[in-house]
Chain A
């Protein structure tokens, strides 16, 4: 929100695990105001790419910059004031209540080492309301259902108000009502000039609600473009394997796009 210039940029990014190349020489700039969808089969490197874009893992080659500064050189708290990450679900124990959990998203700003960057004190309450957690606020986090936990994780990310939000399969466990909530949130973030990038497995969602798509083929190849260009039956079968396009054809997205 402080800046509307192109912010997070990956240059010639190569990601490898062992001897396998997942992503080869990726050039990607996350534009302000866009929702980017990242699609690919299991193990294609989507989560790894998000971790690298978040500055939490080093790429095999290439580099990621934030406003022209190498991400790896930024102090962790500074980085956390600009980039937020929603990792995939984690079954660890959290001892506190839901409101304690959500409020941790403000750590990059509350900590004495960081400068307060204008958080209203009711940010947490507002996000609890947005994600329909207000009534659960005092419940022990560990007593929540899977979908409620996912909403709490999303609220925790939302209170961070990062200008770049990276979400790893945010639709997990969400019912349609809360998928719509997520969609509205992502769109409002983008409208406020921020960037949302998310991995997902649902081409319908990608077709309707993402501005750009990144396909990761898991063998180094990648494709970047708008949904209308990328979401064809042939392209999806190339991405996910033979026969997969049948999963979506009956709904008729092929005709409407």
Chain B
């Protein structure tokens, strides 16, 4: 690349330290946070299909971010709106479905899935009345895109704190895979632990959505794949999720930047294109 020419070394260094470096760092932290959130959601709902956006986080964030874009607001405002939207979605899901969490997670699940569907319809409505020239930015946000991410340090602090917090719960999370009554009989406070999971996963997801839009698939695939590979105890699974999720997103983002350079693809397209064949191959294994 240009770095081979002596004159351009300074420029190359600048690109590395001010553009590429922070973006790679942000990609790793986002991927790690999403995979961690996915693992926590799968344990909360005792379901391998659970993922970070299950309760409408991406819908809530997407709707408010798109409204901000339609109004012509600049990025920091869009980011703040996305964060507010995801918190709104989580609060609604908790208020509507969180009553019986000690025994049954189905009401929370149903409330979240309904909210996601409602937000999806509103997003489609916003998209259909928006002038065409504003659409590409909106689509990139909805698919997930790391080009806007401005705060890799914040994401890294969040990743480290979230991993530490999740690890502190690891023993309890192993037990929480059992039926709620059985988990309670073994001395786990089921409802408080489930609320901690909900809040921790929600915080991780909201932070990533506010920084990079709704990057799909990492949070569903990475924990599931690692569990298939034998990481069943949370003490090993959770750090492995952070590492593998981060690595996958760094790889996907590098490809998203380079495949049709100078144009970029939304990174969410690449995570799915990389992840789907990998996942299908894993599912065929005995």
Contact = CB atoms under 8 A, between A and B. Distances in A.
Interface of A: 51, 54, 56, 76-81, 83-87, 90, 92-97, 100, 104-105, 107-108, 110-112, 114, 160
Interface string B169-207: 001101101110110111111000000000000000000
9 contacts: A54-B185, A56-B181, A78-B187, A80-B185, A93-B46, A93-B48, A95-B227, A100-B232, A104-B186
Nearest to A85: B185
B233 interface: yes
B14 interface: no
Nearest to B224: A95
A92 B46 contact: yes
Given A100-B174, A107-B174, 15 more contacts: A56-B184, A79-B187, A80-B185, A80-B187, A83-B185, A84-B185, A87-B181, A90-B178, A92-B177, A93-B46, A93-B177, A94-B178, A97-B232, A100-B232, A112-B171
B181 A92 contact: no
Given A100-B232, A107-B175, A110-B171, A85 B181 contact: yes
B182 A90 contact: yes
A-B pairs, top 3 by smallest CB distance, nearest first, are A80-B187, A96-B232, A90-B179
B17 interface: no
B47 interface: yes
A90 B179 CA distance: 6
A87 B182 contact: yes
Given A90-B182, A104-B174, A110-B171, A95 B232 contact: yes
A65 B178 CA distance: 26
A85 B48 CA distance: 26
A108 B182 contact: no
Secondary structure at chain A's binding surface: helix, strand, loop or mixed?
mixed
B182 A85 contact: yes
B46 A56 contact: no
Contacts of B188: 76, 107
Secondary structure at chain B's binding surface: helix, strand, loop or mixed?
loop
B276 to A, nearest CB: 21
Interface string B32-46: 000000000000001
Contacts of B48: 93, 95
B184 to A, nearest CB: 5
Contacts of A87: 179, 181-182, 185
Contacts of B182: 85-87, 90
Contacts of B187: 76-81, 107-108, 111, 114
Nearest to B49: A93
Contacts of B177: 92-96
A226 B175 CA distance: 37
Given A87-B181, A94-B178, A107-B175, A76 B232 contact: no
Contacts of B179: 87, 90, 92
B103 to A, nearest CB: 9
Given A76-B189, A93-B48, A100 B233 contact: yes
Interface in B123-182: 171-172, 174-175, 177-179, 181-182
Contacts of A105: 186
A107 B174 CA distance: 9
Interface string B224-237: 00010000110000
A81 B185 CA distance: 9
Contacts of A100: 174, 232-233
A102 to B, nearest CB: 11
B184 A76 contact: yes
Contacts of B181: 51, 56, 85, 87
Nearest to A104: B175
Contacts of A96: 174, 177, 232-233
Contacts of B174: 96, 100, 104, 107
A56 to B, nearest CB: 5
Contacts of B46: 92-93
